[in-house]
Amino acid sequence: MKVLDDIRVLDLCHVWFGPWCCMMLADFGAEVIRIEPPWGAIDRAAEGALKGGSSYTFHHLNLNKKSLTLNLKEPEGAEIFKELVKVSDVVVQNFSPGAMERLGFGYDVLKELNPKVIYAALSGFGQTGPYTKRRSYAMIAEAMSGHTRLTGESHDPEGPPIEMAQAYGDLGPGTMAAMSLLAALRYRDRTGKGQMIDVAQFDCMSAYNTAITAYLLFGMTPREIREKYPMGRGGIGGILKTSDGGWVRLAGFGPRGMDKMKEWMEVEEPTKEMLEERVASMTRDEAVDLFVGMGLPVAPIYHVNETIEDPHLNARDMFVEVEHGKAGKLKLLNFPVKMTESPGEVRTASPVLAQHSREVLRELLGVSDERFEELVKAGVTSKPM
């Protein structure tokens, strides 16, 4: 038994934000049907390198899902989608606001079709407010919620803004959306009622920014607070270069860390310069072993190839091997959280485009093989190529 194996999700998402949200539900066992146009969504081939016809981001963000192609702008495609809504629990989309309504699938329509449906509309700025119509990607929300300036200032207070690597402006809000969907499912279990969920990247990335609370309370950024009120026993640490060209990240903050540092350096007032000098004469492994031995939080700074090989991550079953319809066996990341009773897990690779079109239409709507062929011919759906 998987905790969500009685839940069906129609995943009308693209790129990172929405696909990640729906994958969280799929990992807990929901039947997630990713619906793309017959020509494939924009994230299928978003990056140059393709494996089995899909980009690495598609492989990362669409595990455990089925693929159905439907041209929703064709009247027959729209009708099929409406029939699917009637037999589903959740609908998620992350188009720019207005696109879902232009297709004829606003929440008013969805709830008419299925009053118990839970509908999540994911977007950059939400379904209301002055910026609602603006398109967005992760970096747009990161920029406006303050993260990009803060990242730059943490490197150099006078320097330019710096973007975070990867796209936490997608995965963070995507996780919030998945969490809200679980809350809505719980609400529906208790009341029988569906609802609409409006998740904005800008809202979520602001909620992830503790510097906003610093400013609300003190009118200062965390850096300004530290400068104005230096803590006498504040620790030292940071990113430190080692003799073999490697780097370590030491977080020797707090009184306990400072006491250890004083003892090790045999000085009353350890400074960052003293620390840098000592670490520069050690290899990366020596430095990590030393600080681990001292009980300080420390890490070697890895490239991803080293992350993949790390024995600890492997011992915690963070990698799985799955069979992809076109690319064969793939080693990929597993669901990260461990649970004693109802864990999430990666069971299947991302689907090939249209891999489950025939199966989904037959099993859920009783579409015959003959009718399916007609729909393919009419460009309403498609088969895997």
Ligand X SMILES: CC(C)(COP(=O)(O)OP(=O)(O)OC[C@H]1O[C@@H](n2cnc3c(N)ncnc32)[C@H](O)[C@@H]1OP(=O)(O)O)[C@@H](O)C(=O)NCCC(=O)NCCS
Residues that bind ligand X (CB under 6 A): 15-18, 35-37, 42, 70-73, 94-96, 99, 102-103, 122-124, 135-138, 170
Comparison of 91 and 298: residue with beta carbon closer to ligand X: 91
Burial zone of 268 (CB within 10 Å; 0-12 exposed, 13-18 middle, 19+ buried): exposed
Which of these, 37, 97, 49, 98, lies nearest to 73 by C-alpha position?
A: 37
Distance in angstroms (rounded) separating the CA atoms of residues 73 and 99: 11
Q: Which 8-state DSSP code applies to residue 103? A: T
Comparison of 17 and 372: residue with beta carbon closer to ligand X: 17
**Smallest gap from residue 19 Cβ to ligand X (A):** 8
**Smallest gap from residue 95 Cβ to ligand X (A):** 3
CB count within 10 Å of CB 351 equals 25
* 3-state class (DSSP) for residue 163: coil
Phi, psi (degrees; rounded to nearest 5) at 183: -65, -40
Comparison of 202 and 291: residue with beta carbon closer to ligand X: 202
Phi, psi (degrees; rounded to nearest 5) at 88: -120, 165
Comparison of 173 and 246: residue with beta carbon closer to ligand X: 173
Comparison of 122 and 298: residue with beta carbon closer to ligand X: 122
Dihedral sign (CA 372, 377, 381, 384) = positive
**Smallest gap from residue 35 Cβ to ligand X (A):** 6
**Smallest gap from residue 124 Cβ to ligand X (A):** 4
Which of these, 86, 147, 148, lies nearest to 117 by C-alpha position?
A: 86
Q: Which 8-state DSSP code applies to residue 373? A: H
**Smallest gap from residue 350 Cβ to ligand X (A):** 16
Describe the crossing of helices 272-280 and 254-265 by its angle, rounded to 10 degrees: 60
Strand partners, 119: 91, 196
Could you tell me if 142 and 148 are in contact, meaning their C-beta atoms sit under 8 angstroms apart? yes
Comparison of 169 and 257: residue with beta carbon closer to ligand X: 169
Q: Which 8-state DSSP code applies to residue 128? A: S
**Smallest gap from residue 314 Cβ to ligand X (A):** 29
Angle at the Cα of 349 from the Cα atoms of 344 and 352, rounded to 5 degrees: 140
**Residues 114-139: b if buried by 16+ CB within 10 A, e if exposed:** beebbbbbbbbbbbeeebbeeebebb
Residue 276 amino acid letter: E
Strand partners, 159: none
**Smallest gap from residue 21 Cβ to ligand X (A):** 10
Comparison of 27 and 198: residue with beta carbon closer to ligand X: 198
**Smallest gap from residue 278 Cβ to ligand X (A):** 43
Comparison of 97 and 146: residue with beta carbon closer to ligand X: 97
Distance in angstroms (rounded) separating the CA atoms of residues 141 and 238: 27
Comparison of 123 and 355: residue with beta carbon closer to ligand X: 123
Q: Which two tokens stand for residue 170?
A: 């997608």
Distance in angstroms (rounded) separating the CA atoms of residues 293 and 279: 15
Comparison of 119 and 291: residue with beta carbon closer to ligand X: 119
* Antiparallel, parallel or unpaired: β 90-93 and 8-12: parallel
**Smallest gap from residue 112 Cβ to ligand X (A):** 20
**Smallest gap from residue 123 Cβ to ligand X (A):** 4
